[in-house]
Amino acid sequence: MTFYRLLAAAAFLLAGGALLLQNPERNAYTDPSSLAALIESEQDHIEPLDLARSIKEGKQKLQVIDLRDSTEFAEYHIPGARLMTLTALVNGGVRRNENIVIYSQGGTHAAQAWVILKTKNFPNVRTLLGGMSGWNDEILFPQISADAPDSTKRAFDERKALSVFFGGRPRTAPSYTGHPPRQKPPLKGGQPPKFEKEGDKLRETCERYGSTDIFSALVRIKA
């Protein structure tokens, strides 16, 4: 009986302590220099290629968050990604033990979300390097130069497979001409892109004449 009374007294003391403290959580303070160190050591982001491999292999459970608007999300999103506003994300949209990857179109909003989540002590949160634009360039429409050495071409095979897996289309560019890369075709909901007739013509002409200059290709079509 005395032992039980002792336990009861201990419980009462702990409860009294709780009453005095009120809040079970200490005021969290994030050291800004620790955040700076994470950014400098590049632990704040994940490369598109690493994310693509990770999703394809499916070994690690990732929570991929899309911060773009619903129209952009409907057009195309990384498979498995959840559409979320920044406000929803930082107000309980994700749990602290999840392995989180955030992306926006360019990366600014994702980076801002990263800082907010870090100040809320989320240990495993990263942004997708380059955002959706980076994903387009690296994964959906990777490009290899036609005169690239064989070793590079062999290494490119994996990129090709990933591109097809995620609904993109790998591109072979002619040797470097100094022209900017041609425009990317539109995408729909993770499906391989369907080219508009005009776009198809443009692409074929570009490929036939080995040019990435849209203007000269257009001239050739008209002619």
Residue 12 interacts with another protein (CB under 8 A): yes or no: yes
**Between 31 and 150, CB nearer to another protein:** 31
| Candidate residues 34, 97, 151, 175; the one interacting with another protein per rule CB under 8 A | 97
Interface with another protein in residues 13-42 (CB under 8 A): 14-26
CB of 168 to another protein, least distance (A): 28
With CA atoms as reference, report the closest residue to 135 among 56, 76, 196.
Answer: 76
Query: Which of these ranges, 32-40, 54-62, 196-204, 213-221, lies near another protein under the rule CB under 8 A?
Result: 54-62
DSSP state of 185: P
Using CA atoms, how far apart are residues 165 and 120, in angstroms rounded to an integer? 35
With CA atoms as reference, report the closest residue to 122 among 33, 36, 35, 49.
Answer: 35
Residue 99 interacts with another protein (CB under 8 A): yes or no: yes
Residue 152 interacts with another protein (CB under 8 A): yes or no: no
Using CA atoms, how far apart are residues 130 and 136, in angstroms rounded to an integer? 9
Neighbours of 137 (CB within 10 A): 15
Phi, psi for 221 (deg, rounded to 5): -60, -50
Residues that bind another protein (CB under 8 A): 8, 11-12, 14-26, 59-61, 95-97, 99, 121, 123-124
